[in-house]
């Protein structure tokens, strides 16, 4: 048994508060306001946590979810299409205030499920307890903020504009049926960050949970069923290609919200028979670099690069995935950085102070080792003491140096706890690396010389969506725009942007003649339209 193996608990060592009540065999899925029971094949949910038994370590299988086929997913789509009813359904016709009431009811029910969802985040994807709690709370806050932003948008849209003798009221209207799919690293937050704006704007939704972090939606299924009219939200399970492929091929999906790989997104988009009728918002792969200049505050750079590269074991789309350090300080940086990496505590997601946890993807350790081996075969070394150690679902944070551009680690998104460190001499080399990258989400710059930082900002402002000065890359605050260039994203998300993404501006316009003005006045004062109204939403 390796040292890492000893970190896995026996059943008795699992704290009572995080123990799962029982094997969670889920057969329910949500279609047309009804929780249907699936009698077919199930997909076992294997936790990244292994448990010590008298026969040795055993991977904990915590439950199972339905492996639906294209038939059930097309039923879900039909329910969403019916509920939308070409824009004439109950949900797209509701007043904004009424849609908000439905979502607020859901929020109350969701808050009551915090413990169940947080526990499943730990068990299904190995996220630490504080980060799992943060993901839940941040998601609730995001929905609250989205409601606030929608009220603001509605208030702004109540005004009339006048130009060239034409007056108009411009509002945002829903677009149709949305397919929402999120990633396994933020299975709640990232999925709900598209699902709720889509719903609030009056669209109907088919939602398919990520490949891991699936059972954690189960505690919310009744709330989804009870808080929305039938067919407004439909939740399906199963293999992506079979279930989601059929939805795209039907041509009835109008909005595609997908957080995952650019390869997966491209394959699915290509299946849609009328691409001009599909609006997509995509959060995809990234290889965010941190560029560390000679005059950087090293303690701060190390601190930010530790969380940037290794929080949730590097499994964040915004993680720093390449450290590019000036030759003059690379030794000093590495000494401090590797010491900090080796201090990170491995353990179970619920262990206090833990930073390194088991990885949910089967075979991930082998994949990461392949990246490290490739770099080592081309002249790099593992430079931290605990680096390269692996066992079962554990892979120790591994710092690899010096990484050069011919190595896979220089350009491939590792999405795990391997930290490639590259050295540079001339600023132009760092600029070229970013310009030539396939990805363009964010980057971090560490340094103090304002003239030099200013030049870097200008060089990078057409390359990435966000330039972080002396801090790690991140999505938040959620009110800030989150996007990317090249293969990293399509469209922009933020609390306010998401509402725009899932809607289209629609206006009522007329020539400003006395008769037309009187007509509009009459509609407004007699409240004869739900769309053309100056009612103020508090
Ligand atoms: O995985 C990508 C997430 O959007 C990253 O969010 O920067 O808050 O961890 P974060």
pLDDT tens digits, 425-471? 999 999 999 999 999 999 999 999 999 999 999 999 999 999 999 99
Over residues 72-91, mean pLDDT = 98
Structural domain count, the chain: 2
Among 191, 317, 466, the mutation site with the greatest number of ligand 1 atoms within 8 A of its Cβ is: 317
Q: Which of ligand 1's atoms lies nearest the C-alpha of 311?
A: 9
514 assigned to some structural domain = no
CATH number at residue 152: 3.40.605.10
Determine contact, residues 236/72, Cβ cutoff 8 Å. yes
139 assigned to some structural domain = yes
Burial class (CB in 10 A: 0-12, 13-18, 19+), 161: exposed
Over residues 3-29, mean pLDDT = 95
Which of 32-44 are b and which e, b meaning 16 or more Cβ less than 10 Å from the residue's Cβ? bbeebebeeeebe
pLDDT of res. 36: 98
507 assigned to some structural domain = no
pLDDT, tens digit, 9 for 90 and up, residues 475-521: 999 999 999 999 999 999 999 999 999 999 999 999 999 999 999 99
Distance of CA 468 to the CA centre of its chain: 19
pLDDT of res. 538: 86
Q: Are residues 258 and 355 in the same domain?
A: no
Q: Are residues 243 and 319 in the same domain?
A: no
Q: Are residues 173 and 276 in the same domain?
A: yes
Q: Distance, CA 517 to ligand 1 centroid (Å)? A: 49
Range(s) of the domain holding residue 309 = 288-484
pLDDT band at 22 (very low <50, low <70, confident <90, very high): confident
Q: Distance, CA 482 to ligand 1 centroid (Å)? A: 10
pLDDT, tens digit, 9 for 90 and up, residues 295-345: 999 999 999 999 999 999 999 999 999 999 999 999 999 999 999 999 999
Q: What are the start-end ranges of the E strands in 128-252?
A: 160-163, 166-173, 177-181, 204-208, 233-235
19 assigned to some structural domain = no
pLDDT band at 223 (very low <50, low <70, confident <90, very high): very high
Q: Is 316 in the pocket of ligand 1 (CB under 6 A)?
A: yes
pLDDT, tens digit, 9 for 90 and up, residues 137-167: 999 999 999 999 999 999 999 999 999 999 9
Residue 247 has pLDDT above 90, yes or no: yes
Q: Are residues 349 and 266 in the same domain?
A: no
C-alpha 476/C-alpha 403 separation (Å) is: 29
Residue 1 has pLDDT above 80, yes or no: no
Q: Which of ligand 1's atoms lies nearest the C-alpha of 186?
A: 1
Q: Is 317 in the pocket of ligand 1 (CB under 6 A)?
A: yes
Q: Are residues 278 and 407 in the same domain?
A: no
Q: What are the start-end ranges of the E strands in 370-441?
A: 381-382, 390-391, 394-395, 398-401, 418-424, 439-440
Q: Are residues 275 and 293 in the same domain?
A: no
Q: Which of 236, 265, 283 is the last residue in one of the domains?
A: 283
Dmax over Cα atoms in the chain, in whole Å?
A: 88
| Per-residue tokens: 202 | 């009056």
Q: Are residues 106 and 220 in the same domain?
A: yes
300 assigned to some structural domain = yes
pLDDT of res. 537: 87
52 assigned to some structural domain = no
pLDDT of res. 316: 98
pLDDT of res. 2: 87
Q: Are residues 209 and 316 in the same domain?
A: no
CATH number at residue 442: 3.40.309.10
pLDDT band at 536 (very low <50, low <70, confident <90, very high): confident
C-alpha 42/C-alpha 497 separation (Å) is: 37
pLDDT, tens digit, 9 for 90 and up, residues 424-435: 999 999 999 999
Q: Which of ligand 1's atoms lies nearest the C-alpha of 473?
A: 7
465 assigned to some structural domain = yes
- DSSP single-letter state for residue 9: P
Q: Are residues 397 and 327 in the same domain?
A: yes
Q: Which of 484, 503, 531 is the last residue in one of the domains?
A: 484
Residue 81 has pLDDT above 80, yes or no: yes
Q: Give the mean pLDDT of the chain.
A: 97
Q: Are residues 261 and 313 in the same domain?
A: no
Among 132, 191, 318, the mutation site with the greatest number of ligand 1 atoms within 8 A of its Cβ is: 318
* Atom 6 of ligand 1, nearest CA residue: 475
Q: Is 318 in the pocket of ligand 1 (CB under 6 A)?
A: yes
Residue 47 has pLDDT above 90, yes or no: yes
| Per-residue tokens: 246 | 């059929």
Q: Are residues 292 and 276 in the same domain?
A: no
| Total-model pTM | 0.97
Q: Distance, CA 435 to ligand 1 centroid (Å)? A: 23
Please choose, from the candidates 339, 326, 341, 460, the residue with its C-alpha nearest in 3D space to the C-alpha of residue 402: 326
Q: Are residues 170 and 264 in the same domain?
A: yes
Q: Distance, CA 316 to ligand 1 centroid (Å)? A: 5
| Per-residue tokens: 151 | 């009220």
* Atom 4 of ligand 1, nearest CA residue: 475
Q: Is 476 in the pocket of ligand 1 (CB under 6 A)?
A: yes
513 assigned to some structural domain = no
* Atom 8 of ligand 1, nearest CA residue: 475
């Amino acid at each position: 048994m390796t040292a890492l193996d000893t970190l896995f608990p026996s059943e008795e060592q699992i704290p009572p508060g995080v123990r799962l009540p029982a094997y969670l065999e889920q057969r329910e899925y949500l279609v047309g306001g009804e929780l249907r029971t699936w009698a077919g094949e199930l997909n076992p949910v294997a936790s990244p946590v292994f448990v010590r038994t008298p026969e040795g370590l055993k991977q904990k299988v915590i439950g199972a979810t339905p492996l639906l086929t294209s038939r059930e997913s097309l039923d879900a789509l039909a329910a969403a299409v019916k509920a939308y009813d070409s824009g004439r359904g109950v949900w797209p016709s509701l007043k904004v205030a009424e849609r908000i009431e439905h979502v607020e009811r859901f929020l109350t029910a969701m808050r009551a499920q915090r413990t169940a969802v947080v526990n499943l985040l730990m068990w299904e994807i190995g996220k630490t307890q504080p980060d799992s709690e943060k993901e839940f709370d941040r998601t609730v806050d995001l929905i609250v903020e989205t409601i606030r932003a929608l009220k603001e948008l509605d208030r702004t849209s109540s005004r009339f504009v006048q130009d060239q003798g034409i007056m108009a009221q411009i509002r945002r209207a829903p677009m149709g049926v949305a397919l929402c799919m999120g990633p396994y690293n933020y299975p709640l937050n990232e999925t709900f960050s598209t699902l709720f704006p889509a719903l609030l704007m009056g669209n109907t939704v088919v939602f398919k949970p990520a490949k891991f972090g699936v059972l954690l939606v189960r505690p919310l299924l009744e709330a989804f069923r009870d808080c929305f009219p039938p067919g407004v939200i439909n939740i399906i399970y199963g293999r992506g290609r079979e279930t989601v492929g059929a939805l795209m091929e039907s041509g009835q999906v109008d909005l595609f919200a997908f957080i995952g790989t650019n390869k997966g997104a491209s394959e699915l988009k290509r299946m849609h028979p009328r691409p001009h009728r599909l609006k997509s918002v995509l959060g995809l792969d990234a290889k965010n670099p941190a560029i560390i200049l000679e005059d950087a505050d090293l303690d701060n750079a190390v601190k930010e690069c530790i969380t940037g590269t290794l929080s949730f074991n590097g499994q964040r789309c915004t993680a720093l995935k390449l450290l590019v350090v000036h030759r003059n300080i690379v030794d000093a940086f590495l000494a401090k950085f590797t010491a900090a990496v080796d201090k990170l505590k491995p353990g179970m997601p619920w262990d206090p102070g833990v930073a390194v946890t088991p990885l949910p993807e089967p075979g991930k350790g082998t994949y990461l080792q392949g990246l490290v081996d490739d770099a080592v075969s081309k002249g790099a070394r593992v430079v931290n003491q605990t680096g390269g150690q692996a066992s079962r679902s554990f892979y120790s944070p591994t710092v690899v140096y010096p990484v050069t551009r011919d190595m896979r680690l220089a350009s491939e998104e590792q999405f795990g706890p391997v930290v490639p460190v590259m050295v540079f001499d001339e600023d132009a080399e760092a600029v070229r690396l970013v310009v030539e990258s396939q990805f363009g989400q964010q980057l971090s710059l560490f340094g103090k010389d304002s003239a030099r930082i200013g030049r870097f900002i200008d060089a990078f402002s057409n390359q990435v969506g966000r330039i972080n000065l002396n801090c790690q890359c991140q999505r938040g605050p959620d009110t800030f725009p989150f996007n990317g260039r090249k293969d990293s994203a399509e469209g922009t998300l933020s609390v306010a942007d998401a509402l725009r993404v899932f809607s289209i501006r629609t206006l009522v316009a007329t020539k400003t003649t006395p008769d037309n003005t009187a007509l509009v006045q009459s509609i407004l004062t007699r409240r004869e339209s739900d769309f053309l109204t100056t009612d103020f939403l508090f």
